[in-house]
Amino acid sequence: MELVTDEQVKTLVREAALELPCSHLVVVIPDATRTAPVPLFFEALCESLKGRVRRLTFLIALGTHPIMSPEAVDRLMGMSEEERAVRFPHAEVVNHRWDLPETFATVGHLSEQETAELSGGRLSLQVPIRINKLLLDADKVVIVGPVFPHEVAGFSGGHKYLFPGVGGADVINFTHWLGALVTSHATIGIRDTAVRKAIELAAGRVGCRTSAFCLVTSKDGLHGVFWGDVRQAWEKACELSSQIHIKWFDKPFKKVLSVIPERYDDLWTGAKGMYKVEPVMAEGGEVVLLAPHISEFSYTHAKVLDQIGYHCRDYFTAQWDRFKDLPWGVIAHSTHLRGDGTFIDGVEKPRVEITLASAIPPERCQAMNLKYQDPATINLDEWRDREDEGTLYVPNAGETLYRLRPKA
pLDDT at 22: 86
Sequence-ordered list of residues with C-beta below 8 angstroms from that of 111, at least 6 positions apart, any chain: 126
Q: What are phi and psi of 98, to 5 degrees?
A: -65, -20
pLDDT at 1: 75
**Rounded to two decimals, what is the model's pTM?**
0.94
pLDDT at 152: 96
pLDDT at 20: 86
Topology of the domain covering 247-404:
2-enoyl-CoA Hydratase; Chain A, domain 1 (3.90.226)
pLDDT at 21: 79
Rounded to whole angstroms, the Cα distance separating 322 from 9 reads: 51
* DSSP codes, 308-352: H-S--HHHHHTTHHHHTTS-HHHHHHHHHHH-SEEEETTEEEESS
CATH number for the domain running over 6-244: 3.40.50.11440
pLDDT at 106: 98
b/e per residue, 271-282, with b = 16+ CB within 10 A? bbbbbbbbbbbb
Length of the chain: 408
**For the chain, what are the domain ranges?**
6-244, 247-404
Nearest to 60 by CA among 84, 42, 79: 42
Q: What is the mean pLDDT of each run of 10 residues along the chain (408 residues)?
A: 95 94 94 94 96 95 96 97 96 97 98 97 97 97 98 97 97 97 94 98 96 96 98 98 97 98 96 98 98 97 97 98 97 97 97 98 98 98 97 97 91
